[in-house]
A = this chain, B = another copy of it.
């Protein structure tokens, strides 16, 4: 369902912090939108929607975040960390991100600009859109 991409995580020195670098040549599309999410409480879940056209490359740069991808027929789970690979969530996949650790930060790269009409926010509507009968 998903593909994984390598991005370096560089610790300069212990006091100068952690650098994570995303070269556009390693991102599988032209970047139209970027967003960061942080300060989520442990145990809270974000996402809970699918996109009709937008593919997203999701990377953890701090903490630990569990990603669940669901194409309506099967689910895949990944625990993302600052040293794990970036994950491409293709269009048409329901995705949820659960914060597993205080101070977690994710960065998401999108191949489409924001369009509210691209979101499917109800799971039943998603299944119907995928042509899956319950």
Contact = CB atoms under 8 A, between A and B. Distances in A.
A105 interface: yes
A44 B15 contact: yes
Given A19-B37, A40-B17, A62 B105 contact: yes
Nearest to A59: B36
A113 B31 CA distance: 14
Interface in A78-104: 99, 103
Nearest to A61: B36
Interface of A: 12, 14-25, 30-41, 44, 46, 61-62, 99, 103, 105, 107, 109, 113-114
A39 B18 contact: yes
Nearest to A39: B17
A35 B22 contact: yes
Given A17-B44, A99-B17, A105 B38 contact: yes
